[in-house]
Structure 1
Amino acid sequence: MTKAERTRETRVRILSAACEVIAEVGFEKIRMRMVAERAGVSTALLHYHFDTREKLFAEAMTHSFAQTGTELEKDAGSVPAAVILARILRALLPTDPELRQDWRLWQELWVRALRDETAQRLAVDLYDQLHDWVTGALRRGVDSGEFAPCDVDATSTLLLALCDGYGIRLMLADPRVGLDTAQASIWGTVARTLGVAPEFPAV
């Protein structure tokens, strides 16, 4: 392994550890030492890569986001647009332990963004990327004839808002909202616009 590869591997290990610790204790309680211990590196090495908690948090969010994007792009060229869109929507909800961790990070970002301009810019930038994922699936479906022509930007904004709303209820373990209910409601809301069956596709 080259020095550059070792450096990248160390950064990834640190960022993964940071995601875990921030999700567990929250940004306000996190200490760099806690992340270093979880990553199995010295505090000095951690500070070499990330000199402040704020920079570590921002890169941890971006790292977590990129991991989700990588999973969504697998075999994307060989499945119907409806399945791609359903996968994206499912990934935008806290449907498994890893995505619940991502959701905790998002909630930390939302709180910070209310008071910190840098966090606000990061949140808006990440939402832009989410918007691109959803509009990409919508445009693919429209172009292939799988979806009826629609305002893809407005539809994407609606889908993201629905995912945020239902996701919060799922994170709260609200007994009125289960995963199946959330997925069915989100899909059913846009199914008529897209000209597809109202049932959430098997993914």
Structure 2
Amino acid sequence: MATNGRTTETRERILSAACEVIAETGFEKIRMWMVAERAGVSTALLHYHYKTRDKLFTEAMTHSFANTTVDLERDADSVAPSVILARIVRSLLPMDPELRQDWRLWQELWVRALRDDETQRFAVDLYDQLQEWVSGAVNRGIEAGEFTDTDVAGLSTHILALCDGYGIRLMLSDPKVTSDSALAAVWRAIAAELGISPAFPKV
């Protein structure tokens, strides 16, 4: 068990380091030794866990998404569905340095997906997981009677599209779009569809 624990901890450290290095440097420029150095492991150990850069990249993206979902769902049974949905929406925008790092990973994924069929399939699968995550939060609110019944799949797609659009503008430091204005605009669209307050909840 101790060995399994060390292996899990090592993989977590490697994936966290990979997220940082890919976001800072860009996938095309990174080398495995850069990630090994950041993670504090040997290159040989890194290759033992991840044979190729492509494998490391996809695992890093999955790791980033999984960590976000676990963190935001930590108390889903004890807070209002609107709060959970608001947390999710906030996490889908580059609102702080950590989320901007996640966004840089997504941007790297988009670029690779345009040139590589396998990466494209992986990207579509990740979007499916994002949509299921958003849809789950909306369905909980409908079941709890807090949200008006709606086309959940359609609304989830709309939310992701809005967040992608505003997120790109924020990543470009477009002066016409601020974090607050983007968050407010996305939430107003959600609120109108779900029959809830247009004021963004305290999360």
TM-score range, shorter chain: over 0.9
Gaps in structure 1 of 5+ consecutive residues: none
Q: Name the stretch that deviates more: 1-10 or 160-169.
A: 1-10
**Aligned counterpart, 2:56:** 56
Q: Which amino acid aligns with 2:47?
A: H
Q: Does 1:28 align with 2:28?
A: yes
Aligned partner letter, 2:122 = L
Residues 25-104 of structure 1 mapped to structure 2, 5 A cutoff: 25-104=25-104
- The aligned runs of 1:1-203 (5 Å cut-off) are 2-203=2-203
Displacement of 1:197 in angstroms is 1.3
Secondary structure in 1 matching 2:166 = helix
Secondary structure of 2:196's match?
Answer: coil
SS at match of 2:34: helix
Identity %: 70
For residues 96 and 180 of structure 2, the distance between their equivalents in structure 1, rounded to whole angstroms, comes to: 13
In the alignment, structure 2 segments of 5+ residues that lack a partner are: none
Aligned residue pairs total 203
In 2, Cα distance between equivalents of 1:70 and 1:128: 17
| SS of structure 2 residue aligned to 1:77 | coil
- Offset at residue 190 of structure 1 (A): 2.5
CA RMSD across the alignment: 0.9
| SS of residue matched to 1:163 | helix
C-alpha deviation, 1:200, in angstroms? 1.3
SS at match of 2:77: helix
Q: Distance in 2 between matches of 1:134 and 1:57?
A: 24
CA deviation profile, 1:75-106 (whole Å, cap 9, x unmatched): 11111111111000001111111111000000
> TM-score, normalised on structure 2?
0.98
